[in-house]
Structure 1
Amino acid sequence: MERERLGSRLGFILLSAGCAIGIGNVWKFPYVAGQNGGAIFIGIYLLFLVLLGIPVLCMEFSLGRASQKSCARLYETLTPQKKGWRWHGKVALAGNYLLMMFYTTVAGWMLKYFFDTASGAFEGAGPEAIAAHFETMNASPWTLVFFMGGIVGIGFLVCAAGLQNGLERVTKVMMILLLAIMLVLAVHSVFLPGAREGLAFYLLPDIERVRAIGWGQVVVAAMNQAFFTLSLGMGGMAIFGSYIDREHSLLKESVHVAALDTFVAIVAGMIVIPACFAYNVEVSAGPSLIFLTLPNIFSAMPLGRLWGALFFAFMTFAALSTVLGVFENILSATMDLTGWSRKKTCLVNGAALFVLSLPCALGFNVLEHIEPLGAGTTILDLEDFLVSSLILPLGSLLFVLYCTTSLGWGWNAFKKEANTGRGARVQEWMRPYMQYVLPAGIALLFVTGLLL
C-alpha cells in the first residue's frame, strides 16, 4: 500500500504544532511563567526549548521520514537486525491510547463549556453558582460520557475522511481559527482596565520572585515546560515526519513547529493573566483556572457571554488539535500492524477508545471511590502520571539513544536524514552534546518528575 502524503508544508507544520499545542499551554504555562519570575522564566524556557525540545523533535521527524512508518514499525524498518528496540514501538502505541483515555474527557469538558457559555449559562452567576456548575457536570456520568463520546466521534470521523481530505483540511481551518481567536482575545485582555499590572507580572523580569522561589526550582520548572510542551516520546511527531517530502531539512521544520507552539503558550498568558488582574482574581493553574476563575471573570465582564464563548471555542480547538494528531498516530500504527483500511481502522479504534475512556469519565462520579495515587486523586491523575512522568521522558530518552549511538540507528544515519533538504542542518560539532548531554538532561527530568 502506497504511503499517504500531506498536501502541503503548511499542513505539516500546522498538524505537528496542533498535536503539540494542548490544554496545558493555556492552564499551565501562564501560571508557571508568572509565578517563576515572568520574563526570566520565559528566557530560561526558550533556552531549554532549543537545548532539549528541538533536538528530540528533529529526531522523531527523522525516524518517521526515513522509515515511512508509524512508531509500531519504524524500528524494524530502520534496523531489522536489532530486534531489541521493537518493544518500544508497542509501548509508544500503548502510551497514545493511554493519553487519549483521559484527554478525551478533558476535551469533552471544553466542548461542554463552550455550549454552556454560548447559551448564557454563566450570565449573572456568582462564584458559588459557577463552582456548583463544574461540580454538577462532573457528578453526572451521562454528561461526561456524552461529551467524551462526542470528542471520540468527531476525531475518528475527521480521520476517516482521509489524511488530506479529512485530517489536514480540518486541522488547517481549525488552527487558523484558533490563532485568530487567540489574537482577538489577547488584544481584548491587554486593553482591560487594570491589565497593565497583569502584563508586568507575566512579562517583566522579577529577580526577587526568582530568589524567593529558588533558582533551582525555576530552572527545573522551565526545563519541564520546554520539554513536555512538544509531546515527545510516543511517536506522535514521527508519524507526521512519515507523511512529508524531503524538500526541507528537519531541523528547520522542528524550529518552525516549536516556535508556533511557543507563540500559542505565550499569547495564552496574555489572554489569561491580564484578565485575572483586571478583575482582581487570583491566578491559578489547572482546571480551576479554566472552569472556575475564567467563568467568574466572563460573568462580570461586559459582553462576557461573547468573550467566554470565544475563549472556550479556542480551548476546544486546542484540545481537538491534539486529539486529531494522536488519533492519526494510533490509526497509522494500527494500519501498519494489521493492513486494515483507514475506515475499518477508524471504526475499530473509535469503539475501543470510547470503551477505554469510560473509566476516566466515570472516575469523577460512579468510580470516584477509586483513588489510585492517594486521597483525593482520580483515575485521570493516574493515567496522566503514567503518560507524563514515565512514557514521555523514557520514550524520548530511547529515541535519542537510538539516533545517536551504534546500539541503534546511529548518528550518521540520523544526521543524513535530518539534513536532507533545504534549511538549517545538524552539525558534526553537535554530536557530543546530543549523544551525552541531551540524554543526561532527559534522565534528570525523569528523576525530578518522580521526586517532585
Structure 2
Amino acid sequence: MKERESIGSRLGFILLSAGCAIGIGNVWRFPYMVGENGGGFFVLIYVLFLLILGVPILTMEYAIGRSSRLSVLSAFKKLEPKGSKWHIYGYFAIAGNYILLMFYSVVSGWILRYFVLAVKGEFMGKSPKNIAEIYGEMMSSPKTLILFMGITMLITVAVTSMGLQKGVERITKIMMIMLILIMIGLGIRSLTLPNSVEGVKFYLMPNMDNVRKVGVGNVLYGALNQSFFTLSLGIGGMEIFGSYIKKERSLVGEAILVAGLDTFVAIVAGLITIPACFAFNVAPDNGPSLIFLTLPNVFSAMKGGRIIGSLFFLFMYFAALSTMIGVFENDVSFSIDLFGLDRKKAALFAGIMITVGSIPCALGFNVWSAFQPLKAGNVIMDLEDFIVSNLLLPIGSLICCLFCTCKYGWGFDNYIEEVNSGVGIKMSLGLKWYFKIVLPAILIFLAVYGLWSYFA
C-alpha cells in the first residue's frame, strides 16, 4: 500500500486547516451576520461557542483522521467496532463535500468576477443603481457565472494535482499569508475613515437594545450556527488534515490555533466592512448583498477606492479559494483511498464531477430561476446550502461526537488518548460528562431548531 502523504510543517498544517475553515463564512457571512444580529453581543457569544463547541468537535475530527491516517469513510470503517455501521455516515460526508463545492465554486466565481471589475475600475463613479445593474447583469448571464466558476475549478484542480506539499500546502501558505497582510492593511484603512468609530462601537460593544430588536434566541442560534459553519465541521472537512499529521503535538493546542486564526480573520473582515458602512451611511444589516451590492458603493465614494476595492475582492477570493482547495483535497483523498487512483487522476475525476454539478447552481439564478425548491424565493443554491448547513453539518457533528464518546463507537478512551498524544495542551478527563451529555444535547438542538426556524 502506498505510504500516506504528510504535511511538511506545523505551520503548513495550521495554515492549511485554517485555510479550509477561512472562507466565505468569515469574510462574507460573518460581517452581515453581525449586522443582522445586533453587533457586539453576537461577536461575544460567537467566540464563546467557538471555544466550548467548535474546538471540541474539531479535535474529534483531527483525532479520527490522525488515528486512522485515512479520509472520513475509510477512517470510520477502520476505527468502528466490528459489525457496526458508523461508516454509513461517511457516504453522507462525501456527498456533503461535493455538494458544498457545487455552490461554493459559483459564489467564488462571483468574487473573481468582482475582482476583475474592480481592477478595471468598473465601480468608480457609478451610482447605486448602476452598481445594482452590474450585479443583475452578472447573475442573469449563465455564460458569465459558468465561466468564472470554471476558472476557479481549473485553479483548484491544478493546485491539488501538484501534490499535498508542493501544491496544496505551498500555495495555501502563500495565499493565507497574503490574505492576512491585505486584511490588516484594509482594516487599518477602514478605521481611518470618518465616523468609523461608531461602526467599531456597533461591531464590538455589546448593546442589548440591538439584541432585543432581533430577539435573544435568534442571536444565540445565529452565533451557534456560525461557530459550526465557519469551521466546516460535520462532513469530515477537517478530518482529512488530521490524517496528514504526525503525533508530535497534542491536538487541543492545534485546534485552538486554527479556531483562533479563523476567528481573527472573521473579526478583521468585520472591521473592514462595518466601519466602512457607517462611514458612508450604509446599513450593515443588508444581508448577503452586503459584499456585492453595498460595498462597491463604498469603494466608489472612497479616495483610492479602485485600489482598495481591488485588494478587498482579491483577499475575498483568496479566502474563497483556500476553502475550495481545502475541501477539494477531501474529494481527491476519497478517490485515492476508495478507488486507488493516483493524485492527478483523482483530482481530474473530482474536478469534472464538481464542475458539471455546479452548472445547475449557476443556472438557478437565470434559466432555471422558476424552480424554487423548499419555499418561495429559493433557488437551487438555497437548496444545496440548506442540505449542507442545516442538515449535514449539525447532524454530522452529532454523529462524530457520539462516535468519539460512545462505548458503541470508537469510544472516549481511544479519542482522549489520540487527542493527548504529543506535547502541548491536554484535554482533561474531567470533561467526559460534558462531551458525552452536554455536547450531543446542544448539537441535537442545533439540528432541530435549525430545521424548525428555516421553515417557520
* Alpha carbons 1:124, 1:299 under 8 Å: kept: yes
SS of corresponding position for 2:369: coil
More deviation in 225-234 or 376-385? 225-234
Shift of 1:38: 3.2
Quick check: 236-245 or 218-227, which moved more? Answer: 218-227
Tell me by how many angstroms 1:33 deviates.
2.6
Superposed displacement of residue 34, structure 1: 4.1
Shift of 1:373: 2.2
Aligned counterpart, 1:98: 99
**How big is the shift at 1:40?**
2.5
Question: Contact 1:25–1:264 at 8 Å: present in 2 too?
Answer: yes
> Secondary structure, in 3 states, of the residue corresponding to 1:275?
helix
CA deviations on 1:304-329 (whole Å, 9 max, x unpaired) are 10000000001100100110000000
Structure 2 counterpart of 1:212: 213
2:375 & 2:80 partners in 1: Cα distance? 43
Indicate the residue corresponding to 1:162 in structure 2. Answer: 163
Distance in 2 between the 1:20 and 1:85 partners? 25
Could you list the per-position Cα deviations for residues 312-356 of structure 1 after superposition, in whole angstroms to 9, with x for gaps in the alignment? Answer: 001100100110000000100111000010011111111111111
Partner of 1:115: 116
Q: Which amino acid letter does the alignment assign opposite residue 44 of structure 1?
A: I
Structural RMSD (CA): 1.2
Q: Which amino acid aligns with 1:137?
A: M
Q: How many residues end up aligned between the 2 structures?
A: 452
Q: 1-side partners of 2:259 and 2:378: how far apart?
A: 32
CA distance in 1, matches of 2:157, 2:383: 25
Spell out, residue by residue over 1:401-440, the C-alpha distance to the aligned partner (whole angstroms, 9 max, x if none): 0000111000000000000011111111100000010000
Cα shift at 1:365: 1.4
TM-score by length of 2: 0.97
Q: CA deviation at 1:215?
A: 2.7
Aligned residue number for residue 138 of structure 1: 139
In the alignment, the residues of structure 2 paired with residue 15 and residue 49 of structure 1 have an alpha-carbon distance, to the nearest angstrom, of 19
Change beyond 3 A, Cα 1:18–1:116: same
Map 1:166-185 → 2, pairs under 5 A: 166-185=167-186
- Residue 79 (structure 1) shift: 2.4
Residues 2-36 of structure 1, C-alpha deviations (whole Å, 9 max, x = no match): 00010000110111111111112122322333443
* CA–CA distance in structure 2, aligned partners of residues 103 and 334 of structure 1: 20
Between the aligned partners of 1:444 and 1:85, the Cα distance in structure 2 is 21
Q: Which residue number corresponds to residue 310 of structure 1?
A: 311
Deviation digits for residues 172-215 of structure 1 (CA, Å, limit 9, x no counterpart): 00000000000000000000011111111111121222233333
State the distance in 1 between where 2:341 and 2:37 align.
Answer: 49
Q: Is the 8 A contact 2:360 2:380 kept in 1?
A: yes
Q: Secondary structure of 1:210's partner?
A: helix
Alpha carbons 2:71, 2:239 under 8 Å: kept: yes
* Structure 1 length-normalised TM: 0.98
Moved more, 341-350 or 391-400: 341-350
Q: Do 2:81 and 2:410's aligned partners in 1 also have CA atoms closer than 8 Å?
A: no
Give yes or no for contact 1:359–1:379 (8 Å, CA) kept in 2. yes
- Opposite residue 124 of structure 1, the aligned amino acid is G
Instruction: Tell me which amino acid in the other structure corresponds to 1:45.
Output: Y
Residue 82 to residue 261, structure 1, CA distance change in 2 (3 Å): farther
Are the counterparts in 2 of residues 18 and 318 from structure 1 also a CA contact under 8 Å?
Answer: yes
Residue in 1 aligned with 2:127? 126
| Alignment match, 2:299 | 298
Hey, what does 1:196 align to over in structure 2? 197
Q: Secondary structure at the match of 1:28?
A: helix
Q: Counterparts of 2:68 and 2:81 in 1: how far apart (Å)?
A: 11
Q: Percent identity, please.
A: 54
Between the aligned partners of 2:286 and 2:417, the Cα distance in structure 1 is: 42
